[in-house]
Homo-oligomer: A and B are copies of this chain.
């Protein structure tokens, strides 16, 4: 059924890149999307939305976006459910089909030096592609390539660490 979301906002932190046990890249980040109107106190609030993106687009996100970057997201809303202290919890996220980098002029100033400059799109999560092992587990993320290597992701790409060993079949793609 139709489930379409389009957002433009700024990353609240650097994106996190992880890999599934099968070597599929997944990036997560939070997008701050300013509200249309200020609240009665005159403050312009924002909604903080959790974004997930898979495969090649995940690696592009990790390479080209960072805290503060302006980005567009085209995807779908999804609610994940989990138990915590015996209570059912809900986690709402946007699964991005496309992430667009929106920093037009050799911006990004300080920091990582992603070069960049052109407005650019990353297309992720192609619907139901063969889930081959084409992602061999090699970490192509340029920014997190120091000591820690990459992180494995299991069922929850937003989780801090994932030790439980599950297969790709449990992943939502």
Identify the A interface with B (CB < 8 A).
1-10, 33-37, 39-40, 47-49, 70, 72, 74, 76-79, 90, 92, 98, 100, 102-105, 107, 109, 119, 121, 123, 126-128, 169-170, 172
Contact = CB atoms under 8 A, between A and B. Distances in A.
Contact of A104 (B98, B103, B172): B103
B1 A121 contact: yes
Contacts of A123: 36, 127
A4 B6 contact: yes
12 contacts: A2-B7, A2-B98, A3-B7, A4-B6, A8-B72, A33-B77, A36-B76, A36-B123, A79-B92, A107-B107, A126-B126, A126-B127
A97 B39 CA distance: 18
Q: Tell me the number of copies of this protein.
A: 4
A36 B121 contact: yes
A7 B35 CA distance: 18
Contacts of A78: 35, 47
Contacts of A37: 127-128
Nearest to A90: B92
Contact of A72 (B2, B92, B169, B170): B2
Can you list the 3 inter-chain pairs with the closest CB atoms, starting with the nearest?
A: A92-B92, A2-B8, A6-B6
A73 to B, nearest CB: 9
A107 B169 CA distance: 37
A89 to B, nearest CB: 9
A98 B33 CA distance: 14
A66 B70 CA distance: 20
A77 B109 contact: no
Contacts of A49: 77, 79
